[in-house]
Structure 1
Amino acid sequence: MKRSLLGGLVLAACSTHSFALNILLVNDDGLTSNIKALYDELKANGHSVAVSVPCSPQSGRGGAIVMYSPTTISVDNDKQIAAENGCHNGAAPIGAPAAGGFTKTGYTNGNWNYVHGTPVMATAYGLDVVAVKQWGKAPDLVLSGPNEGQNVGKVVVHSGTIGNVQFSAGKGIPSIALSADTNTVDDKTLNNANSAIVAKQTVVLLKELQGKAGQGPLLPKGITLNVNFPKNLTSSTPFAFSRIGTYDLYNFKFKVSKDDKGVNQYGLGYDIAPNAPTAAQAADESAVMQSKIAVTAMQVAYDQRPAAQEWLKIRLKNLFK
């Protein structure tokens, strides 16, 4: 009886250990309530976590690979940091190295890192510098987000949140993009209650993936996930299959307006989809995420399916001789 009990304890311990992952957290928003909540929740569940985020908010940068400062943080190429006198929410001040550990009190344990560049540059720093220093190897998983706003439909091609996982998944690392509603923002205390719910539901998803993967990789090679949480998220909100599809909540367009002096102002505008999704669009992310947690499988990079490859060979066979 004692031997059986001991054996069970050993197996349980091994099982627990095998499910502890080395996780790199990245995003395109910098230091936020969402990433703080997810970091805390993952640590509470036994995972080893490192963070590498942009110094300043970088929404819409997609897969851009740009450093704004080659040596120290300055406002020359990134005016966003001028208002905060440094990185978002005090992560590091102007004049600090262009990449490094947070200087903000409470975030100096070596797990929190920033890069004064685009989201993908912060992800690259996390993979090539932070992960190597912390674990001596690549992470088991990259989680990008949770973003402060959903990334659904065709907007995903412009998203820094998505750009991060395309970059890391392209290196063969299981990667998941996470996006929540804007009601998770809290730049005063970094302690939004909605952020905590998003974090807990993320761990629910992670445990399910781990349970199915066993000792294998969390996701098959060439597949990454896009996960969108609805505005009215609760601990009982169900998960649902979704696809990027053709239904888009947002119709982005170039916007020209005038200020109070009549001077033209140029920027990005958008319209909300005027029509409800059709029956054929019911499984599209933009429809599903309005009431459920939408989980979508994405391919890595832009390579087409074999059928389309054959179509191209036939269509241009005279050129491909």
Structure 2
Amino acid sequence: MKQTLAFVGTLIALTLCPAVADARNIVITNDDGLTSNVVALYKALKAEGHDVIVSVPCDNQSGMGAAIKIGQPLAPLRKACRAGAAPVGAPGAGAMARPGIPAADFHYVDGTPVMAMLYGVDVLGQQRWGKVPDLVLSGPNEGQNVGAAILGSGTVSAAQMAAVKGLSAIALSAGMRTVDDNALANPDSAKVAALSAELVARLDRLSGGGRILPEGLALNVNFPDVLEGAKWQASRIGTYQAYDIRFVADMARDPSPMMKAMTGQYGKDLPHLPGLSFGMNSAEPAPGQKEDESVVYRHAIAVSPMQAGYEPKALDGYVHWLVDRFDAGK
């Protein structure tokens, strides 16, 4: 890529000044299902006056990427959805049934993340607005999506597919500690939601009432585990690998430290079977990788531009667009 993103040497702190956004039509989707993060984001956006539809998978679909099921009708549920979103026997897609969740706005799909996004845009959005939404927000995910891992991310893929359809789309990812299936009220979820709503407000104000993002551009936003004092920084997806994902012949014999911790957490041993091992990359980034989102997200809120789809395009124009709008002096 020519010039390898021109702003790499001058990261810009994103100072989000208070801004009141116009009311927008927004679809929230994700790859995790009904989560504390989704509920908090919905509440934050509704408080800003936006009209919001939530359309998420019935169950956790992390790692499904851009998978879709073409020509396969969705049968009634054979198992209940995550966090009580829908019971066994409910339709394959529909309004959520969990008490306290507004069924008119919250919907599930027994399918992949991209399918859930499409249901929100093609069916629910058309029914309510008679047109496509102004913005698709995918997430906030339970766990960051940075570097090459985004290729398999359902969170990022849902945003990418929305961008390919010509919509403004942002992928949002937070830390793993935002999980709360019982009360759906993790305190960190509320913090991430407030920051996400601020981002939407600033982008909307800068748009002058037009498109929130230029056509062909999507954003990948990653929040650090420690949110207090975190600044916004423009970043690039880059080449540094935050995660160490590899196929092993024996998961019990060659587990990563993270896999060991997960087995203790869930109270079961790893089997002596082949599979994917998952862990964190302990190697230090090379000098040219210091501005990669896989590095930036450790201490700041990383905002990276993404090209929609695979058509070759120069990203430099998008990078300049991003830096211009998030220059701390503006």
TM-score, with structure 2 as normaliser: 0.81
Structure 1 residues 95, 248: CA separation in 2 closer, same or farther (over 3 Å shift)? same
1:139 matched to which residue of 2? Answer: 133
Among 66, 74, 85, the residue aligned to 2:69: 66
Q: Is the CA contact (8 Å cut-off) linking 1:69 and 1:116 kept in structure 2?
A: no
Deviations 1:100-129 (A, max 9, x none): 100111224310000001111111111111
Q: Is the CA contact (8 Å cut-off) linking 2:251 and 2:276 kept in structure 1?
A: no
Tell me, in whole angstroms, the C-alpha distance in 2 between the residues paired with 1:305 and 1:141: 22
Unpaired runs of 5+ residues, structure 1, are: 1-14, 75-84, 308-321
2:289 matched to which residue of 1? Answer: 281
SS at match of 1:264: coil
Structure 1 residues 263, 290: CA separation in 2 closer, same or farther (over 3 Å shift)? closer
Tell me, in whole angstroms, the C-alpha distance in 2 between the residues paired with 1:266 and 1:182: 25
Counterpart of 1:63, as a letter, is A
Deviations 1:27-74 (A, max 9, x none): 000000000000000001111100000000000000000278622112
Matches within 5 A, 1:68-147: 70-74=74-78, 85-147=79-141
Residue 168 of structure 1 deviates from its aligned partner by 0.8
Counterpart of 1:264, as a letter, is H
Deviations 1:174-223 (A, max 9, x none): 00000000010111211000000000111121122112111220100100
Structure 1 residues 55, 209: CA separation in 2 closer, same or farther (over 3 Å shift)? same
Q: Is the CA contact (8 Å cut-off) linking 1:178 and 1:227 kept in structure 2?
A: yes
Deviations 1:293-321 (A, max 9, x none): 000000011122379xxxxxxxxxxxxxx
1:198 matched to which residue of 2? Answer: 192
Is 2:154 the counterpart of 1:160? yes
Is 2:217 the counterpart of 1:223? yes
Counterpart of 1:73, as a letter, is L
The structure showing larger relative contact order (alpha-carbon pairs under 8 Å, at least 6 residues apart) is 2
Counterpart of 1:103, as a letter, is A
Tell me, in whole angstroms, the C-alpha distance in 1 between the residues paired with 2:219 and 2:231: 17
Unpaired runs of 5+ residues, structure 2, are: 1-18, 253-267, 316-330
Q: Is the CA contact (8 Å cut-off) linking 1:175 and 1:224 kept in structure 2?
A: yes
Tell me, in whole angstroms, the C-alpha distance in 2 between the residues paired with 1:278 and 1:66: 40
Tell me how many residue pairs correspond in the alignment.
281
SS at match of 1:53: strand
Larger Rg: 1
Residue 263 of structure 1 deviates from its aligned partner by 6.1
TM-score, with structure 1 as normaliser: 0.83
Tell me, in whole angstroms, the C-alpha distance in 1 between the residues paired with 2:206 and 2:250: 52
Is 2:162 the counterpart of 1:176? no
Tell me, in whole angstroms, the C-alpha distance in 1 between the residues paired with 2:48 and 2:178: 22
Tell me, in whole angstroms, the C-alpha distance in 2 between the residues paired with 1:143 and 1:262: 35
Is 2:313 the counterpart of 1:299? no
Structure 1 residues 243, 136: CA separation in 2 closer, same or farther (over 3 Å shift)? same
1:189 matched to which residue of 2? Answer: 183
1:239 matched to which residue of 2? Answer: 232
Q: Is the CA contact (8 Å cut-off) linking 1:69 and 1:117 kept in structure 2?
A: no
Is 2:36 the counterpart of 1:42? no
Tell me, in whole angstroms, the C-alpha distance in 1 between the residues paired with 2:313 and 2:55: 33
Tell me, in whole angstroms, the C-alpha distance in 2 between the residues paired with 1:28 and 1:73: 18
Q: CA RMSD in A?
A: 2.1
Tell me, in whole angstroms, the C-alpha distance in 2 between the residues paired with 1:64 and 1:154: 17
Q: Is the CA contact (8 Å cut-off) linking 2:225 and 2:298 kept in structure 1?
A: yes
Tell me, in whole angstroms, the C-alpha distance in 2 between the residues paired with 1:243 and 1:177: 14
Q: Is the CA contact (8 Å cut-off) linking 1:30 and 1:55 kept in structure 2?
A: yes
Moved more, 158-167 or 273-282: 273-282
SS at match of 2:249: strand
Tell me, in whole angstroms, the C-alpha distance in 2 between the residues paired with 1:69 and 1:255: 35
1:24 matched to which residue of 2? Answer: 27
Tell me, in whole angstroms, the C-alpha distance in 1 between the residues paired with 2:47 and 2:269: 54
Structure 1 residues 258, 175: CA separation in 2 closer, same or farther (over 3 Å shift)? closer
Tell me, in whole angstroms, the C-alpha distance in 2 between the residues paired with 1:109 and 1:159: 27
